[in-house]
Amino acid sequence: MAETAGETPRFYRARDGRLLAGVAAGLAQHLGIPPIVSRLALLALGFGGIGIAVYVVLVFFVPVEPETAQDTGEESGTPGKRRDVGRLLGYLALAAVLSMLFLVFGGMFDPLLWFLIFGALGAAVLWQQANPALRDEWVSTTALPSRKGWVRIGAGVLLIVIGVIGFLVFQQQLQEARTGLTFAATMLAGISLIAAPWIVGLVRERDRERRERIRNQERAELAAHIHDSVLHTLTLIQRRADDPREVQRLARVQERALRSWLYQRPADADTTVKPALERVAAEVEESHGVPIEVVCVGDGPIDDGIRAELQASREAMVNASKYAGADSISVFGEVEPKEVLIFVRDRGQGFDLDAVPDDRMGVRGSIIGRMKRHGGEARVRTAPGEGTEVQLRMPRIPEFG
Amino acid sequence: MGKVHDVADDNTTFGSGAAVPRVVIVDDHRLFRSGVRGELGNAVEVIGEAGDVDGAVHVISEHQPDLVLLDVHLPGGGGVEVLRRVLSHHPDIKFLALSVSDAAEDVIGVVRGGARGYVTKTISGKELADAIVRVADGDAVFSPRLAGFVLDAFAATDSPPMDPELDRLTQREREVLRLIARGYAYKEVAKELFISVKTVETHVSSVLRKLQLSNRHELSRWATARKLL
């Protein structure tokens, strides 16, 4: 399969139009050498078929380069990439050893030679397969390759083995190769047995270290947060211990901050109703000191009408905080497909709506008038001694529905 | 404060002549337990306390209280674990969940585990006592926030319900929940809808049953269901 596949141009991929199949250039870039060197090396190896085999295997196993900004860079080595002298030497040594072996055994049909070649090739592929970051981690024993990586590596090994056997069968060399293969397999099994416990230990150790590191990071983050917020507030509370109202306010503010940090996803208060309503309530509560409980069902984007509705609800909350004399205020928002409803309710003293003078802007202008101007409606239910509920209703613009 | 107005102003079941409920308090904060004990005063009889799951199961089995005041977050598996282990042997013991958490998965989780109500720890002593009496009498106690969560969970979705009887709220139940979410007490809900308080209680109990038995996707996988419409 090696001979035919290497020459056909079908391995061109959607790489940035670099080279044949990008292998030589990729290899060159990977090694930090001019592409001509890698190409010459492949060519030299190609004499005898090895280079072609290498090429094909690399085409199969080298992933397509991800698109980056500097894809248009010229062919000579990219300055951004690290030069890995050790790896370069490894490849050179590999090539030298292969050539020597080729000379020593004097023919490409010697099964032992082929076994060695494919073994070395497999090692090279696996080495190539690991990306540099991952490889560093292998060396420094800190992380496992991804599951996909393992699969690919396993597939690489398997393919190489199959390739060897298939080639040998095709060349009717299997009989002669069997001795060598058996020997090699025995060796491999022995080495695996010896190395397995050590590798397993290494993997576990690495896993443990990584988990430890993540835990430490989280702990540090949490400590920083607690320090910036909770400890700070506790200090303030101790200092203001003689002012119960301020102490309560501080505690509420801190509670809300901690709650949102613990339980809520970061949400953008400028674009959707629920976080916006919660923010309005938080702001009013902070400036007026009356606890406001917000319950909101559903969520949706804010348009101009809803923005006006939120402003009206703020006005209602401010009124309730200032005049109702209630212990707390309940705010309920409901985002329906066609409209957004907001209810602001207190159990305070209430008032006689008809008795409110016309020049009082609060209710008439900021709430009822504002809602009407934007196509919505506002109702105020109140009576002396029965608390107040401001009901706001605003249709949603259909395109958002 | 303000979270459970639905019970605060409604004394229909309170002081009806029945003996005060016998209560076990389960919370891992000793300070909080003694605080609650003090606040409750004579409204209920506190017959035991526990600070973790194993202790709770032991104390509850031993004393057989009418009601357990259960913290959602407990060492050893959480309130849900207590519910699981106790209710399998003593299905008649009532649970009222109490938590500082506002997370929907906590609230819904403990209610689905068998609690007949949920209140937050900021509740006042009187409101808590009322809620305890109500739950001990077999009713459900919904805070405005729990009502909001339930409305969210039962919001209309495209997928047809697997069990229409359990997976959908009736129009009436929806109205009741909306009013509770708006901060209305049961009595006020009744007045608003021109129905009796008893009917409101029936609706709420029915919602509780659906909440516990329905297999709605939103309930079992609440975290993802909380996402935007």
Go through the domains of chain B in sequence order and give each one's CATH number: 5-142 (3.40.50.2300), 147-225 (1.10.10.10)
Cβ–Cβ of A272/B229 closer than 8 Å?
no
Which percentage of chain B shows pLDDT scores above 90? 18
Report the run of H or E that residue A101 belongs to, with start and end.
helix A85-105
A273, exposed or middle or buried, with CB in 10 Å at 0-12, 13-18, 19+?
A: buried
Cβ–Cβ of A332/B183 closer than 8 Å?
yes
Predicted pLDDT of residue A228:
75
A336 to chain B: which residues are within 8 Å by CB? Answer: none
Is B194's pLDDT higher than 90? yes
Specify the 3-state DSSP secondary structure of B118.
strand
What token pair was written down for A170? 């095709």
The amino acid that residue B58 corresponds to is H
B125 to chain A: which residues are within 8 Å by CB? Answer: none
A327 to chain B: which residues are within 8 Å by CB? Answer: 1-2
Predicted pLDDT of residue A381:
86
Q: Please give the mean pLDDT across all residues of chain B.
A: 80
Rounded Cα–Cα distance for residues A388 and A343 (Å): 10
Which of A249, A263, A278, A297 is the best substitution to test chain B (most B C-beta atoms within 10 A)?
A297
What are the Cα distances from residue A210, in Å, to A200, A214, A222, A288, B198? 15, 6, 18, 48, 59
Choose the closest CB to B181 out of A295, A329, A335.
A295
The domains located in chain A, with CATH, are 2-65+81-172 (no CATH), 268-400 (3.30.565.10)
- The yes/no answer to whether this complex scores an ipTM above 0.90 is no
Would you call A198 an interface residue with chain B, using a CB distance cutoff of 8 Å?
no
Average pLDDT over residues B76-85: 85
Report the run of H or E that residue A381 belongs to, with start and end.
strand A377-382
Is B208's pLDDT higher than 70? yes
Rounded Cα–Cα distance for residues A149 and A154 (Å): 8
What token pair was written down for B152? 């969210």
The CA-based angle B43-B45-B46, given to 5 degrees, is: 120
Would you call A340 an interface residue with chain B, using a CB distance cutoff of 8 Å?
no
Q: How many other C-beta atoms are found inside a 10 Å radius of the C-beta of residue A203?
A: 12
Residues belonging to chain B with any Cβ–Cβ distance to chain A shorter than 8 Å: 1-3, 5, 101-103, 144-145, 147-148, 151-152, 155, 178, 181-184, 228-229
Specify the 3-state DSSP secondary structure of A73.
coil
Please write the tens of the pLDDT for every residue from B82-128.
888 888 888 889 999 988 777 777 788 888 888 998 888 778 788 88
Predicted pLDDT of residue A151:
66
Predicted pLDDT of residue B142:
86
Would you call A336 an interface residue with chain B, using a CB distance cutoff of 8 Å?
no
A86 — alpha (psi -120 to 50), left (phi > 0) or beta?
Answer: alpha
| pLDDT tens sequence for chain A (401 residues) | 433 333 333 333 334 434 445 666 666 666 666 666 666 676 666 555 566 676 667 666 666 655 444 444 444 444 434 444 555 555 556 556 666 666 666 555 555 556 656 666 666 556 655 555 455 545 444 445 556 566 666 766 776 676 666 666 656 665 666 677 777 788 888 888 777 878 888 888 888 889 988 888 888 888 777 777 888 888 888 888 888 888 888 888 888 888 777 766 666 667 888 888 988 998 898 888 888 888 998 888 888 888 899 989 998 898 888 888 888 899 999 998 889 999 999 888 887 777 766 655 567 777 888 888 888 888 888 888 788 899 999 998 765 44
Widest distance between CA atoms in chain A: 113
Please give the order of strands across the beta sheet that includes B94-99: B45-50, B22-26, B67-71, B94-99, B117-120, B141-142
Predicted pLDDT of residue A332:
93
Across the strands, what pairs with B95?
Answer: B68
Choose the closest CB to B3 out of A293, A298, A334.
A293
Predicted pLDDT of residue B95:
92
Predicted pLDDT of residue A219:
83
Least confident of B18-32, B47-61, B189-203: B18-32
What are the Cα distances from residue B158, in Å, to A297, B165, B227, B229? 18, 17, 15, 11
Predicted pLDDT of residue B155:
79
**For residues B142 and A85, which has the higher predicted lDDT (pLDDT)?**
B142
Model confidence at B9, pLDDT cuts 50, 70, 90, reads very low
Model confidence at B183, pLDDT cuts 50, 70, 90, reads confident
Rounded Cα–Cα distance for residues B192 and A49 (Å): 90
